[in-house]
Structure 1
Amino acid sequence: MAISVGADHLELSTGDPNQVSVGNKFMNQAPSPIALAPHPGWRVALPAVLLTLTAILVVFRETALTMVDVWMRSGTYAHGFIVPPISVWLIWRMREKVAVLAPRHWYPAVLLLAAAGCAWLLGEVATVNVVPQFALIFMLVFAALAVLGPVVARSIAFPLLFLFFAVPFGDFTQPKLMEWTAKFTVLGLRLTGVPVYSDGLNLVIPSGSWSVVEACSGVRYLIASVTVGTLFAYLTYHTLRRRLIFVMVSILVPIVANWGRAYMIVMIGHLSGNTLAVGVDHLIYGWVFFGFVIMVMFWIGARWREDELPGSAKVLATTAGSGTDSAIWRAACTTVLVAAIWPIANWQVERGTSPPLDQLASLGPIIGWQRVPQGQGLPNWQPRFQNYSASTQATFENDGHVAGLFLGYYRNQDQQHKMVTSMNVLVTSDDPVWSKVSGGTSEIAIDQQALKVRTALLRAHSSSARLAVWQWYWINGHWTASDVLAKVYTTVSRLTGSGDDSAVIVLYALQHQAGEAEATLDAFARAAGPVIAAALQQSKAAR
């Protein structure tokens, strides 16, 4: 072992190849990272995956354009425009780590893509917009996995999964969020000494009346908070536990904040004599309050940020080489061909359309019930179902009891003309005459067949009139009140070549005293059920 001392360095030599050298000018410097060259397989894999993703978007362009149309029309989902650019940016910022990985095609992902394509077909047949849209994102993710392989896909997993936020999804939460908002507002008003009378989503206080509508549900705040909160958690934290905690917080905070927003709006209007927080001010105050709450949430979340330690980032080294150029291109072509199968299958299903229907078959006589002029003994009301092929509405009377019937018939349904959709409701939240007070279900029997129907109680704004309403569906001979089952029956019927003939059945009667309208509707449903079924079956037969 030899030790030598120089002017500016000290060297320890042991004769071992692993020699140690310490110099004054290098003693306090951290070792520099080793720069790795990009893997040569990317010269083929990058254009292959870009062309594959582009081809899938072209093949499913109608689904993609439907998503863009929703982004343009709805402020709730306008964030969809920035989701794809954010995903691209997230991949770009980690490009140096990804570039050294070896891309290698993975054919099992093609099978996953085929499953997503099948889901897309079922969603198209059932005319459920959100299913084809989610399926398209899944196909894009699985296409990247098929061409690049699991190692590369795992490294960019979050940017790929972030694309799911581009799907316009979440409106189904509106009714429950509106209900919670109304209950909390009533509770807050009573706790602060303001007398309030609540009737479903309608509130009456000494200074005026308020209604909880779709804009008050807070679904916009919730979706925006979850989208931005998830991105913030990914960029700010590195442990899964903290990321999941912050995502949960980004779900809970906007819900609670919306309750406070609704209470604040009502109180400002009440204390100002309805000169503030009404009209446009209502929305402005709400967004200002929500923006402040979200800013505070992010500020607090940043206090527990986890900075990446120097040298802690590890570059994954892949011992397996990339696939050959021809193998990667074969995987890309196979992926596109498998994806293209499903639009062709959908085209084949849509070929079996039926002739348009202009008029429903006439209702036969209903035992014990006489048809009376439309509106006699009942208010002028009609459910807000749209774009049906044909409809009929009639009023019937039996020993002083009056019941109304509405039938809306649908045939050759598509995304613009379909029976089960969030746009088809008994009454809209901005209806100037009626508002929904409550809803539920009720068991009835038609032709000795048990059926659970959906019930609702409507209240007139200008009077004390209340309308009890029952609703269910008919799909090619099947009765159901479930939106999900209605879609399932429609899908099976179309795939088996039986068409998609469907109808919504709505019965209604005035509620003078508790239980009276329900008894009237039950008696009328038992008598009219077989007659309604026969008329619908005759309408279906006229194809």
Structure 2
Amino acid sequence: MNHIAASRTMQADDHQWRLILPLFSLVVIAILLIFRHTFLGMAGIWARSDTYAHGFVVLPITLWLIWRKRSEVARLTPRPSYSAWLLLAGVGFSWLLGDLAAVNSLTQFAAVGMLVLAVPAVLGWPVARALAFSLLFLFFSVPLGDFAMPKLMDWTAAMTIFGLRLTGIPVHAEGLRFVIPSGSWSVVEACSGVRYLIASITVGTLFAYLTYHSLKRRILFVLASIIVPVIANWLRAYMIVMIGHLSSNRLAVGVDHVVYGWLFFGLVMMAMFWVGGRWREDHLPRPVKRDPEVPAGGAASVPLLLIGAAATVMIAATGPLISGHLDDRHSSPLSQIAALATIPGWQPAEQATANWQPSYAGANAQMHTAYEKEGRVAGLFIGYYRQQDNRRKLVTSTNGLVRSNDQLWVMTASGARGIGFDNQDLKVRWAQLRGSSHARLTVWQWYWIDGRWTASDSLAKAYMALARLMGKGDDSAVVILYAAHEQGVEAQAILEEFAAAAAAPIGNALRQTAESR
């Protein structure tokens, strides 16, 4: 009798899977179509960036990992989960916020999360638990890591300079640039090691899952996959500078610079995997029995499976539908910022420096001018953005005061300070820049979003999402003040005086520009 009951259970399960797999495939296709712009944006980044090219192989690896689990999953009974629908709605709201604030990483994580949560939403949590690693591995397809680049560059520069000085080579350093007796060097994005780090974490996590069965060993190897490439990148940068120095700059200064870097990284990874393989766990864990939460008699009916699939698609589509309703494409095109009113005590003048321009790409309109008072000159730059999207937006890692590969200007110091502006206390970012002709600037920077001032990237994104949710559009701007040091007066004092006088005219000009929508 038990044998007959088990046989009937297996037949029922087979029938369930024959029905649910085509249905689930349609759900996945629907989600891909609903978030097609997000997924196509991810693929575009994979295609143009070597750092994220691994995204092309994440999906095939995920499918292979799922295939390895097919026998275990086949013993489970598919059944839609109501709790997963709630999580799906939360992730959908996160996508909406990311879309409104033009936060690529948030929309991409949420879109991938929709695919992942479709499994418990349509097939149930027991199936999702059985495929947990396979599904979570899919998140490695999200091109995330640029946020760590500035800090990794700072660390690489500091450790390279430390190593050079430790070996007796004199170094004069300013920011990410340094000079040694044989020549000058600079740490740029390619030197940050972020691509090594991302590749190491992705491959290391997969290796840990396939090689070990204990959670402790898996965690330890993933930690090693994070720490080892960071330290290896410091050694790589130091070795390249030393090769260039000892060869009188005949080696490691051109294409071979990149070749040496990848060769060294490859050797380090091989060594890490060889060491990790010495503690591999070849014994298999005990096979998983049928999940007790879903007994054979509790198989979902056909109508329930259809309802589960339909509800999943409808919930997933809610965010894009709301976003389309709030779309700001009806706004008037913008070609210029409203003119500034007279700034009390200050007169228009030539720019404080002729060859510096903040790196804010994609602005709908820009204003770059300068004002003079009693021989003191303050520069003003405003970059105004409207109808932002994933390729053209205000707050992004590619926008800033100076590009790391700028041959004329370098940032030598930075921080934050409080000022009084537009009748409120405001904390702004400040930086010191040095030019090729030894010109020096002190720069203040902050944002304006829907009448609010902030220097925080996170708050700027939040204010932008709130403004769009309220139907006010995404008009926003970056405001930058700067003054040269060679004026006989401290640059900070010049900026304080100019900011106090220019606050009202700047605020009024931005509000008038926004009203032109």
Distance 1:225 1:144 in 2: 28
What letter is aligned with 1:301?
Answer: G
Between 1:157-166 and 1:485-494, the stretch displaced more is 485-494
What is the CA-CA distance between 1:434 and the residue it aligns to? 1.0
SS in structure 1 of the partner of residue 495 of structure 2: helix
Q: State the alpha-carbon separation in 2 of the partners of residues 102 and 355 from structure 1.
A: 55
Separation in structure 1 between the aligned mates of residue 390 and residue 243 of structure 2, nearest angstrom: 42
The farther-off stretch of 332-341 and 155-164 is 332-341
Cα deviation for residue 322 of structure 1 reads: 2.2
Which runs of 5 or more structure 2 residues have no equivalent in the other structure?
Answer: 1-6
Opposite residue 137 of structure 2, the aligned amino acid is: F
Hey, what does 1:361 align to over in structure 2?
338
Cα deviation digits, residues 104-132 of structure 1 (max 9, x gap): 11122111111111111111111111111
The structure, 1 or 2, with the larger RCO (C-alpha pairs under 8 Å, 6+ apart) is: 2
Q: Which amino acid aligns with 2:247?
A: S
Question: What residue ranges of structure 1 are gaps of 5+ in the alignment?
Answer: 1-33
Cα distance in 1 between the residues matched to 2:409 and 2:347? 27
Matched, 1:129 2:104: yes
In the other structure, the counterpart of 1:542 is 516
What is the CA deviation profile of residues 366-417 of structure 1, one whole-angstrom value per residue up to 9, with x for unaligned ones?
A: 1121111x33x53331111111111111111112211100111112222222
Q: How does 1:144-543 map to 2 (within 5 A)?
A: 144-309=119-284, 312-318=286-292, 319-320=295-296, 321-350=298-327, 353-372=330-349, 374-375=350-351, 377-461=352-436, 463-512=437-486, 516-543=490-517
Give the TM-score, by structure 1 length.
0.90
TM-score, L = length of structure 2: 0.95
Q: Which has the higher helix share?
A: 2
Deviation (angstroms), 1:138:
1.0
**Could you say if the C-alpha distance between residues 457 and 351 of structure 1 is closer, same or farther in structure 2, counting changes exceeding 3 Å?**
closer
- How big is each residue's C-alpha offset from its partner over 1:246-281, in whole Å with a ceiling of 9 and x where there is no partner? 100100000000000000000000000000011111
Q: Which amino acid aligns with 2:127?
A: V
- 8 Å CA contact 2:359–2:403 kept in 1: the answer is yes
1:142 aligns with 2:117: yes
Deviation at 1:317, TM superposition (A): 4.8
State, as a whole percentage, how many aligned pairs show the same letter.
56
3-state SS of paired residue (1:479)? strand
Distance across 2 between alignment mates of 1:121 and 1:515: 49
User: Does residue 70 of the first structure (1) align with residue 45 of the second (2)?
Assistant: yes
* 2:376–2:487 contact (8 Å) kept in structure 1: no
State how far apart, in whole Å, the 1-side matches of 2:155 and 2:488 are. 26
CA-based RMSD of the aligned residues comes to: 1.7
State the number of aligned residues.
505
Deviation at 1:437, TM superposition (A): 1.6
Instruction: Note the alpha carbon deviations across 1:465-485, whole angstroms, 9 max, x for none.
Output: 111111111112111111111
Q: Partner of 1:350: helix, strand, or coil?
A: coil
* Preserved CA contact (<8 Å) 2:92 2:110: yes
The separation in 2 between residues aligned to 1:119 and 1:76, in whole angstroms, is 25
Output the amino acid matched with 2:214. T
Using the alignment, how far apart are the partners of 1:48 and 1:511 within structure 2? 68
